[in-house]
Amino acid sequence: MSGLVLVIEDEVDLATTLEYNLRSEGFQVRLAHSGRQGLAAATSDPTPDVIVLDLMLPDLAGTEICRRLRETDRTRETPVIMCTAKGEEIDRVVGFEVGADDYVVKPFSVRELILRIRALMRRVQRGEGEPSLIRFGRLKIDRDAHRAWVDDTEIGLTALEFRLLHAFLSRRGRVQTRDALLSDVWGIDADVTTRTVDTHVKRLREKLGDAGAYIETLRGVGYRFKGEPEEATETSV
Amino acid sequence: MSGLVLVIEDEVDLATTLEYNLRSEGFQVRLAHSGRQGLAAATSDPTPDVIVLDLMLPDLAGTEICRRLRETDRTRETPVIMCTAKGEEIDRVVGFEVGADDYVVKPFSVRELILRIRALMRRVQRGEGEPSLIRFGRLKIDRDAHRAWVDDTEIGLTALEFRLLHAFLSRRGRVQTRDALLSDVWGIDADVTTRTVDTHVKRLREKLGDAGAYIETLRGVGYRFKGEPEEATETSV
DNA sequence: CTTGATCGTCATCATCCCGTCACCTGGGCC
DNA sequence: GGCCCAGGTGACGGGATGATGACGATCAAG
């Protein structure tokens, strides 16, 4: 599970430490060293998946930031973890009143912070978003159960194949270059040949049987999952 | 779902934090900062729907409070969630001897506690006299007594194993990563390798005997408890 | 102190997945 | 039609992953 974490923290040392640790755990990181920067960073693309917020900032109080995040549509659902120093109990309480989702007390263990970030991401990921079931023509996949069917017959996909199919399904109708697929399915730092994608597309098509035709090859560009189930193979253009 | 939660906790910071969080989640809250206060608060009108109880209190041990609650008519059926520090005697807390219904390990995630409170409330709401029995194929577990049977033969599970089985049963049909299981069963700050999960799954499968096949392994993803008891392994169509 | 239960960790082993390579296919372009 | 290159295909070896059994630490009970 990768994800983008925004760290709003004015102590540069601490911020850098967190950045390093989070990256080495596979997260992407965006840093902000002041409250205003933080607010801007929270609403720029892409929206962070989790925000780590220091309570004591030079310009804006963490509580105030949190309140504004909750008033903004883009960040209303984004989980916030508050960092408080010891002795800030009262503010800490207020922090929760304002809608932080969890907190850690300084000095905190980085490992604990990461665990809490992970827990929040898990909760949100399945949360209110799109339903776990995705149907497309003769295809059906269930993300929670991690299962896939063609014509109501379950097909056994490996973890990678499942991610690949999901990537196709969630971007159906749009071309995806091999590089794009690599970073989506394999992860940012995948040191893998682009040809590997070919192999796995082949395996996926095989397992999908007839439904494998949903995956089109665009010579010189990449792959494209059909936009509509009935879309004729030769129509278009 | 609203409800009245009684929090018996001597650390004022933590108690206040919980109060704000629970209120913002729509619960009513009553606080008690000592064991005696707690006992009094538990039996005043209206009777709380759930009690959150710290194991370490200045005057009375949490276990003692729990025992007395169980001896009192008014509170006999009231679910109790015990907060324990790491390394405290979790085994005895849950199950017969003391009779707590659930526990969280400090430091716990506020979200986690709220989820558990909700779960307990649902359970009570479901029907007063209904035994807390869950049946699933050849399996049967009693959540109050912390006992489990396969084909009506009781199997002796440890506290941890029971919790693991319960985690599986309550999310049946859905994949659970090792990380998710760790934070649900061991606590968010569990100081444990993910491989530990493997070992305990193995032990659980062993004790379940044939019924151990209900737990499926999804390579590279996690574990999944079958959604339906009869679910064919390979039969199909 | 000793004993037994419980639980976390480690080493080992079998398995299966995945990445890569080599070779083949087929379409586009002249 | 021939060339060229992107993509399809099949096979293979390494390596990640999980099952398993053993060990040691811890703690409560006796």
Q: Could you give the CA distance from residue B26 to residue B118 in angstroms, rounded to a whole number?
A: 11
List the pLDDT tens digit at each of the 237 positions of chain A. 578 999 999 999 999 999 998 888 878 899 999 999 999 999 998 999 999 999 888 888 888 898 899 889 999 888 888 888 765 554 444 445 566 777 787 777 888 888 889 888 887 665 445 678 899 999 999 999 999 999 999 999 999 999 999 999 999 999 999 999 999 999 877 788 889 999 999 999 999 999 999 999 999 999 999 987 765 444 333
pLDDT at B88: 59
pLDDT at A162: 98
pLDDT at B164: 95
pLDDT at B196: 96
Look up tokens 């949100």; give the residue.
A124
Compute the CA torsion angle B178, B160, B186, B196 (nearest 10 deg).
-50
Q: For chain B, give the DSSP string.
A: ---EEEEE-S-HHHHHHHHHHHHHTT-EEEEESSHHHHHHHHTSSSPPSEEEEES--SSS-HHHHHHHHHHSGGGTT--EEEEEETTS-HHHHBSTTT-BSEEEEES--HHHHHHHHHHHHHHHHT-SS---EEEETTEEEETTTTEEEETTEEE---HHHHHHHHHHHHTTTSEE-HHHHIIIII-TT----THHHHHHHHHHHHHHGGGGGGEEEETTTEEEE-SSTT--SS---
For residue A152, the one-letter residue type is: D
Nucleotides, chain D, CB distance < 7 Å: 6-11, 17-22, 26-29
Size of interface A-B (CB pairs under 8 A): 69
Q: Could you give the CA distance from residue B139 to residue B146 in angstroms, rounded to a whole number?
A: 13
CB contact under 8 A, B220 and A97: no
CB contact under 8 A, B218 and A159: yes
pLDDT at A96: 54
Tokens of A51: 């925000």
Q: Which helix (H) or strand (E) holds A9?
A: none
What's the pTM? 0.81
ω into A79 cis (within 30 of 0)? no
pLDDT at A147: 96
pLDDT digits (tens, 9 = 90+) for A21-40: 888 887 889 999 999 999 99
Q: Which residues pair with A84 in a beta bridge?
A: A105
List the pLDDT tens digit at each of the 237 positions of chain B. 578 999 998 888 778 878 877 887 789 999 999 989 999 999 988 999 999 988 888 888 788 888 888 888 888 888 888 887 665 555 555 555 567 777 777 767 777 788 788 878 877 766 554 557 889 999 999 887 788 999 999 999 998 999 999 999 989 999 999 999 998 888 877 788 999 999 999 999 999 999 999 999 999 999 999 988 766 444 333
Chain B residue with minimal CA distance to A124? B111
Q: Which of A102, A112, A159 has the CB atom closest to B110's CB atom?
A: A102
Taking the alpha carbons of A60, A61, A65, A68 in that order, is the dihedral positive or negative?
negative
Per CB-CB distance under 8 Å, the chain B contacts of A119 are 109, 111-112, 183, 188
CA triple B197-A106-B112, angle to 5 deg: 40
Cβ atoms < 10 Å from Cβ of A212: 15
pLDDT at B151: 93
- C-alpha B136: how far from its chain's center? 19
- The widest CA-to-CA distance across chain A, in whole angstroms, is 69
Tokens of B209: 């005997």
